[in-house]
Amino acid sequence: MIKFSRFLMPEHRKMLKELREKEERIHPSYHDEQQYEEWNRIIFEAMEFASYLSIKYIYNYRLCCVIGRVHYYDQPNQTL
């Protein structure tokens, strides 16, 4: 196995890792007002019935996921 593995210098590994991370970046998209209203309805319904939500968001060009219950929603600042 070792005989047929590729030999990469540490600098090359670092460059390949940076290239892979750059290609995997997710850029934020913008949504219309109707989509925001639908999300508000889902959030308030989950608060009312103490349901669990799965929320995906983009942070540092990466997709993050949080699962839990919503206790408070500040609508003007759009924070949970």
User: Concatenated DSSP letters for 68-80?
Assistant: EE----BTTTTB-
Q: What is the pLDDT of residue 26?
A: 85
Q: Which two tokens stand for residue 12?
A: 């090359």
Direct distance between the N- and C-terminal alpha carbons of the chain, in angstroms, rounded to an integer: 51
Residue 6 lies in a domain: no
Residue 28 lies in a domain: no
* pLDDT band per the 50, 70, 90 thresholds, residue 28: confident
Residue 79 lies in a domain: yes
Residue 66 lies in a domain: yes
Count: domains in the chain: 1
Q: What is the pTM of this model?
A: 0.63
For the chain, what's the residue count?
Answer: 80
Query: Can you give the residue range of the structural domain that contains 80?
Result: 52-80
| Residue of 35, 75, 68 lying closest to 54 (CA atoms) | 68
Residue 46 lies in a domain: no
Q: Where are the alpha helices (DSSP H) in 1-80?
A: 10-23, 33-49
Instruction: Kindly state the average pLDDT of the residues 57-69.
Output: 90
